[in-house]
Amino acid sequence: MWVHEHTFKESKDGCEVRDFVRYAVLGGWVADRLFVRHNVRRIFEYRALRLQEIFAVKGTHSKPAELCHTA
């Protein structure tokens, strides 16, 4: 399972971008902790950096992705 939601919120300094990700993997929490979570977090950290580079606009903020593993 993979559910990914983007939200964009106007703020006094510009625009705030957030991601919410809910997912499930075969192998449960063990596979998640050993193999999956780190890579998913890296993907969204990279995305946050790229958004800031692409838009290069003062006031564009990208929050860390909120990850939720479902057993």
Taking residues 8-18, what's their average pLDDT? 80
pLDDT at 49: 86
Structure confidence at residue 10 (pLDDT): 83
Quote helix, strand, coil % in the chain, to nearest 5.
40, 40, 25
Mean pLDDT over each residue of the chain, to the nearest integer: 82
Q: Once rounded to an integer, what is the mean pLDDT over residues 3-9?
A: 89
Give the pLDDT score at 50: 86
DSSP state of 65: P
Q: In terms of pLDDT, which residue wins out, 67 or 25? A: 25
